């Protein structure tokens, strides 16, 4: 199984998909065409989203074909060489994935070796559920169960900040609430500019920032690029 799970598409002040472009290029080396899943888009069209991603993937010599062009999305998944799942609203993304009955078809293909690249919401749906998303539930999926490609949860765009004058919960507090309901799960707080790569049976953190790992009953711990993350397979 080969996964490239990216926290965010764009760093502040940067261009679209610039920070992960070299990792994407290397990860998809040899791939000629990817099936793009744009369902997380809400305020812009799927055509616009496809074009935006294609503009970056042109640099890699890879054709981006959006699933929304297919009359039979499930067949498109079954025949795909590789998958790219974009960010946006995670609830919208999951609702449409479930609507077209794509969960098991995509999961089978990825477990069989098809590369999977996702960012933000696209990383969330690689997890067992979307329960650690930051998004508002603007629509209602059948349930919260996602592709279940990994055993841990990701919180993309993870922030440590607690702004002055803000009395609400921090991101860390929200994750601890999740762990009260699912105490046996690890949660990876994946900061912007960071990537988790799963390849050859190992997990690597890419980028310059540490990830914050949460598990009920233990204090949150910072892990840096180069550290051993294979405990997340447990």
Cα 191 to Cα 114: distance, rounded to the nearest angstrom = 26
Q: Is residue 37 part of a domain?
A: yes
Cα 124 to Cα 180: distance, rounded to the nearest angstrom = 19
Q: Is residue 115 part of a domain?
A: yes
Catalytic (active site) residue 45:
no
Q: Catalytic pick from 70, 145, 157, 182?
A: 157
Torsion sign, CA atoms 234, 216, 159, 8: positive
Cα 54 to Cα 9: distance, rounded to the nearest angstrom = 14
CATH number for the domain that contains residue 74? 3.40.50.880
Cα 209 to Cα 227: distance, rounded to the nearest angstrom = 12
Average pLDDT rounded to a whole number, residues 68-92: 98
Q: What's the domain count of the chain?
A: 1
Question: Could you tell me the pLDDT band of residue 162, with boundaries at 50, 70 and 90?
Answer: confident
Q: Is residue 110 part of a domain?
A: yes
Q: Catalytic pick from 9, 66, 120, 123?
A: 120
Catalytic (active site) residue 58:
no
Catalytic (active site) residue 135:
yes
Query: First CA to last CA across the chain, in angstroms?
Result: 16
pLDDT at 73 over 90: yes
Q: What is the pLDDT of residue 56?
A: 98
123: nearest Cα among 73, 76, 158, 159 = 158
Average pLDDT rounded to a whole number, residues 52-62: 98
Q: Containing H/E element for 109?
A: helix 103-111
> pLDDT tens for residues 93-146?
999 999 999 999 999 999 999 999 999 999 999 999 999 999 999 999 999 999
Q: Is residue 170 part of a domain?
A: no
Q: Is residue 180 part of a domain?
A: no
Domain that includes residue 57, residue range: 3-152+191-208+222-233
Q: Is residue 163 part of a domain?
A: no
Q: Catalytic pick from 7, 9, 68, 135?
A: 135
DSSP assignment of 151-170? SSEEEET------TT--S--
């Amino acid at each position: 199984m080969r996964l490239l799970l990216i926290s965010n598409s764009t760093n502040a002040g940067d261009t679209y998909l610039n920070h992960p472009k070299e990792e994407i290029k290397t990860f998809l080396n040899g791939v000629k065409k990817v099936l793009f899943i744009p369902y997380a888009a809400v305020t812009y069209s799927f055509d616009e989203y496809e074009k935006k991603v294609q503009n970056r993937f042109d640099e890699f010599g890879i054709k981006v074909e959006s699933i929304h062009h297919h009359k039979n999305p499930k067949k498109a998944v079954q025949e795909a060489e590789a998958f790219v799942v974009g960010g946006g609203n995670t609830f919208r993304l999951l609702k449409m994935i479930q609507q077209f009955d794509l969960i098991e078809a995509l999961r089978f293909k990825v477990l069989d070796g098809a590369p999977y690249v996702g960012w933000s919401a696209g990383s969330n749906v690689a997890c067992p559920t979307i329960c650690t998303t930051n998004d508002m539930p603007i629509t209602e999926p059948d349930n919260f169960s996602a592709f279940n490609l990994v055993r841990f949860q990701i919180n993309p765009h993870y922030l440590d900040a607690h702004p002055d004058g803000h009395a609400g919960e921090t991101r860390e507090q929200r994750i601890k609430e999740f762990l009260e309901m699912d105490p046996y799960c690890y949660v990876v707080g994946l900061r912007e500019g960071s990537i988790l790569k799963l390849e050859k049976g190992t997990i690597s953190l890419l980028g310059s920032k540490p990830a914050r790992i949460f598990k009920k009953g233990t204090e949150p711990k910072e892990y840096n690029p180069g550290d051993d993350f294979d405990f997340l397979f447990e």
